[in-house]
Amino acid sequence: MKISAKNAYELILTAVHVDGTLIEPFTAKDIRRIISGWRYTEYFGFLAYNSDYNNSVEDALFIRVGRGIYRLPTGLAFTKTD
């Protein structure tokens, strides 16, 4: 079963802020360990499409710090929603 983009983002937030299993900055190769079930290229597309490179800084889920390297925005509050 393929993980949705929303669930993937929640897994990344948990891995960075709660578990500490994902260290910032991270790459598509790093998030492959957290999110399984996607095609190889989808990891790159997910990060790039949801970054400040393609969205405004307020709307971006990730901040691009270099080519293929991303981090979470500062001041991000982790909330679990159902």
Whether the predicted pLDDT of 82 surpasses 70: no
- Overall number of domains in the chain: 1
**Does residue 37 lie within any of the structural domains?**
yes
**Does residue 82 lie within any of the structural domains?**
no
Q: Convert the pLDDT of each residue in 19-70 to its tens digit.
A: 999 999 999 999 999 998 899 999 999 999 999 998 888 889 999 999 999 9
Taking the C-alpha atoms of residue 73 and residue 64, their distance in angstroms, rounded to an integer, is 10
**Does residue 49 lie within any of the structural domains?**
yes
**Does residue 80 lie within any of the structural domains?**
no
At residue 76, the pLDDT reads: 54
**Does residue 81 lie within any of the structural domains?**
no
**Does residue 33 lie within any of the structural domains?**
yes
Is the pTM of the predicted complex or chain greater than 0.85?
Answer: no
Q: Is 71 exposed, middle or buried (0-12, 13-18, 19+ CB in 10 A)?
A: middle
Taking the C-alpha atoms of residue 67 and residue 49, their distance in angstroms, rounded to an integer, is 13
Range of the domain at 43: 5-71
**Does residue 56 lie within any of the structural domains?**
yes
**Does residue 43 lie within any of the structural domains?**
yes
Partners of residue 32 on adjacent β-strands: none
